Amino acid sequence: MKSSPPEKKVLVLHGPNLNMLGKREPEIYGKMTLEEINRELIRQGKNLGLTVECFQSNHEGAIVEKIQENFETCSAIIINPAAYTHTSVAIRDALLLTDAPIIEIHLSNIYKRETFRHRSMISDIAAAQLTGFGHRGYSMAITALAGMLQN
């Protein structure tokens, strides 16, 4: 009897204030809520043969702990660190625990915004960065990871 291939889990991490999507500055971040984005990611992941676990926190330590809890069991990470993009050495160090591919995502184009948003603490350790595609960037990321994990 053939056994099924091991489960490929994608951990999706959302940083501070992303729980307010749809309400907070919709002209920048869009009208789609985080719950809607997560539902779509889970559905799309299932269609691609991936299990998707989504997590959001406004607290840096909670994000670090989630990475530490999952670094050995996840096949890939999608992270929108939000404001922690520019400041968090702690999240960066936690991500260094994993050999899994990481895709950094931003709803807005951080390079067309304030200068302080142009620097990412994560971009040099990520396999890729998607910025400025709005909620579609998440879909692009999960599709890209499915391809990366097949190779």
Catalytic residue among 14, 84, 106, 135: 106
Q: Is 106 a catalytic residue?
A: yes
Long-range contacts (CB closer than 8 Å, 24 or more residues apart) made by 115-124: 116/86, 117/85, 117/86, 119/86, 120/85, 120/86, 121/81, 121/84, 121/85, 121/86, 121/87, 121/88, 121/89, 121/91, 121/92, 122/79, 122/81, 122/85, 122/91, 122/92, 122/95
Q: Is 86 a catalytic residue?
A: no
Amino acid found at 71? F
Catalytic residue among 14, 29, 84, 135: 29
- Residue 39 neighbours by CB distance under 10 Å: 12
Where in the sequence numbering do the catalytic residues fall? Answer: 29, 106
